[in-house]
Amino acid sequence: MSVLDPKKTYRNLKKKGFVDSVTKSKDHKRLEFFHKKRLVLSTKLSHGNKDLENYLIKQMSVQCYLDKNDFIDLANCPLSKDEFIQLLEQKGLLD
């Protein structure tokens, strides 16, 4: 069973090019990923401090068009921004 620290995940996704959404929510942080000024995907993260467990990790991985293990690598930093972009290109999600 995998768990991710939500604060570390948030910081690391921001390092990979994710930005805070202009739409606000009281219970979630929404992050968006743009490529060449075009919105490619968005994902959301709870404001709470509770660890992200399997269900939420899976939901975020789907929102990011990654399998669970690739998302964990993205959140923990073994997967670089360039590698993430390459995966999105292989899936035909980028121009």
Residue pLDDT, tens place only, 14-23: 999 999 998 8
Check which CATH number belongs to the domain holding 28 and give it: 3.30.920
**Does residue 19 sit within a domain?**
yes
**Does residue 72 sit within a domain?**
yes
Residue 44: which of 30, 58, 32 has the closest Cα? Answer: 30
**Does residue 95 sit within a domain?**
no
What pLDDT is attached to residue 85?
96
Residue 47 CB neighbour total at 10 angstroms: 11
Q: What is the pLDDT of residues 2-52, one digit of tens each?
A: 899 999 999 999 999 999 998 877 778 899 999 999 999 999 997 777 899
pTM: 0.89
75 by DSSP, 3-state: which?
Answer: helix
Structure tokens belonging to residue 50: 């509770």
Domain residue limits at 47: 6-90
Q: What is the pLDDT of residues 79-90, one digit of tens each?
A: 999 999 999 999
**Does residue 44 sit within a domain?**
yes
**Does residue 42 sit within a domain?**
yes
Q: How far is CA 58 from CA 3, 22, 23, 50, 68, in A?
A: 11, 24, 23, 16, 6
Counting the structural domains of the chain, the total is 1
